[in-house]
Structure 1
Amino acid sequence: MTPEEMAARTSRAVAAATAAGRDLGLAVEEPRVLYDVFSVVVHLAPEPVVVRVPTVLPPSYSRAPETQPNQQRSELAVAGWLADRGHPVVRPSPLVPREPVRRDGFSMTFWQFVEQLPDVEPDMTQRMRQTARLHAALRDYDGGQLGFWAPFGSYVPEGLSELARLPHLIDAADLRRAQREWDAIGPVLTSRAAFTEAFAGVDLQTIHGDAPYHNMISTPDGDLWSDFELVTTGAVESDLAMVGPEALAIYDEAAVALGLRAVDERVLRLTEAAARLAMIAALAMAPELPMLVDAIAPMVDQWRATEPVTAL
Structure 2
Amino acid sequence: MSARTDRAVAAAVAAGTDLGLRVDDPRVLYDVFSVIVHLSPAPVVARVPTVLPPSYRIDPHAQTAQQRAELAVTAWLADRGFPVVAPSPLLPREPVRRDGFSMTFWQFVDETPAAEPDIIARMSRVAQLHAALREYRGELGFWVPFGTYIPDGLAQLRHSPELLPPADLERAQREWNVISPVLTSRATFEAAFPGAGVQPIHGDAPYHNMIATPDGELWSDFELVTTGAVESDLAMTGSEAIAAYDAAAVELGLRPTDPRVLAVTEAAGRLGAIAALAMAPELPMLVEGIAPVRDLWRDTAPITRI
1:72 is aligned, of 58, 67, 83, to: 67
Cα shift readout 1:105-145 (whole Å, capped 9, x = no counterpart): 00000000011111433232331111000000000001x22
Partner SS, residue 107 of structure 1: strand
RMSD, aligned CA = 0.7
Q: Distance in 2 between matches of 1:65 and 1:41?
A: 20
Structure-to-structure mapping, 1:217-296, within 5 angstroms: 217-296=211-290
Q: Distance in 2 between matches of 1:223 and 1:118?
A: 11
Q: Distance in 2 between matches of 1:61 and 1:10?
A: 19
Q: Distance in 1 between matches of 2:297 and 2:212?
A: 31
Structure-to-structure mapping, 1:3-18, within 5 angstroms: 6-18=1-13
Partner SS, residue 57 of structure 1: coil
Q: Distance in 2 between matches of 1:46 and 1:252?
A: 44
Q: Distance in 2 between matches of 1:268 and 1:124?
A: 17
Q: Distance in 1 between matches of 2:38 and 2:7?
A: 15
- Check whether the contact 1:209–1:239 (CA below 8 A) recurs between aligned residues: yes
Q: Is it true that 1:198 corresponds to 2:198 in the alignment?
A: no
Letter in 1 for 2:99: D
Letter in 1 for 2:11: A
- In structure 2, the partner of 1:134 is 129
Deviation at 1:44? 0.5
- In structure 2, the partner of 1:108 is 103
Q: Is it true that 1:92 corresponds to 2:94 in the alignment?
A: no
Letter in 1 for 2:209: N
Q: Distance in 2 between matches of 1:63 and 1:47?
A: 34
Deviation at 1:297? 1.1
Q: Is it true that 1:117 corresponds to 2:89 in the alignment?
A: no
Identical columns (%): 71
Letter in 2 for 1:284: A
Q: Distance in 2 between matches of 1:232 and 1:161?
A: 23
- In structure 1, the partner of 2:208 is 214
Q: Distance in 2 between matches of 1:20 and 1:69?
A: 16
- In structure 1, the partner of 2:301 is 307
Mark the runs of 5 or more structure 2 residues left unpaired by the alignment: none
Q: How many residues align?
A: 306
Cα shift readout 1:216-242 (whole Å, capped 9, x = no counterpart): 001111111100000000000000000
Q: Distance in 2 between matches of 1:206 and 1:21?
A: 30
1:36 is aligned, of 31, 50, 72, to: 31
Runs of 4+ aligned structure 1 residues displaced above 4 Å come to none
- In structure 2, the partner of 1:50 is 45
Q: Distance in 2 between matches of 1:258 and 1:65?
A: 39
- Check whether the contact 1:120–1:218 (CA below 8 A) recurs between aligned residues: no
Letter in 2 for 1:263: T
Letter in 2 for 1:292: L
Q: Distance in 2 between matches of 1:147 and 1:91?
A: 21
Mark the runs of 5 or more structure 1 residues left unpaired by the alignment: 1-5
Partner SS, residue 66 of structure 1: helix
Partner SS, residue 45 of structure 2: strand
Q: Distance in 1 between matches of 2:35 and 2:16?
A: 15
The TM-score normalised by the length of structure 2 is 0.99
Partner SS, residue 45 of structure 1: strand
Letter in 1 for 2:166: A
Partner SS, residue 56 of structure 1: coil
